[in-house]
């Protein structure tokens, strides 16, 4: 357990994990498009989703690096994740009715 903790404490390892998770999440709709016509993502959809996921991952990494422990760190991380989910939902179905909302 101690060895895993020291491995994950390396910033380069965490960045590699973030990139891997983003690629894994983006591969889900890419694979789904091969099997069904109900998933219709274009290049811009993948770019926007990649930017959104990568910026969220890097923001979380920034918080983990700069705030070591505490309630404030947890609150900031929850705000980052809530922002991700609200933006994703707005882009997908338009829950707020903004001009860039999905159809």
Q: Is the dihedral of CA 27, 32, 34, 35 positive or negative?
A: positive
pLDDT band at 4 (very low <50, low <70, confident <90, very high): low
- Structure confidence by residue, pLDDT tens digits, 14-66: 999 999 999 999 999 999 999 999 999 999 999 999 999 999 999 999 999 99
Position 21 in a domain: yes
Position 7 in a domain: yes
Q: Look at residue 1 and tell me whether its pLDDT is greater than 60.
A: no
Position 98 in a domain: no
What count of Cα atoms within 13 Å lies in the side-chain half-sphere of residue 96?
11
- 66 contacts 72 by C-beta, under 8 angstroms: no
Within the chain, residue ranges assigned H as helices are 2-8, 11-35, 43-66, 71-93
Global pTM value: 0.85
Position 56 in a domain: yes
Secondary structure (DSSP) of 5-16: HHHHT-HHHHHH
Domain range for 17 = 2-93
Least confident stretch, 4-8, 28-32, 64-68, 95-99: 4-8
Position 42 in a domain: yes
Q: What is the pLDDT of residue 93?
A: 85
Position 100 in a domain: no
Position 65 in a domain: yes
Phi then psi for 34, rounded to 5 degrees? -75, -20
**Greatest CA separation for the chain:** 49
Number of domains in the chain: 1
């Amino acid at each position: 357990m101690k060895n895993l903790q020291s491995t994950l404490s390396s910033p380069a390892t965490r960045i590699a994990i973030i990139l891997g998770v983003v690629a894994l999440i983006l591969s889900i709709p890419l694979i789904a498009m091969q099997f069904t016509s109900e998933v219709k993502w274009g290049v811009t959809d993948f770019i926007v989703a990649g930017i959104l996921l990568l910026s969220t991952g890097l923001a979380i990494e920034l918080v983990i690096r700069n705030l070591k422990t505490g309630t404030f760190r947890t609150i900031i991380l929850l705000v980052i994740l809530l922002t991700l989910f609200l933006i994703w939902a707005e882009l997908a179905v338009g829950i707020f009715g903004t001009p860039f909302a999905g159809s």
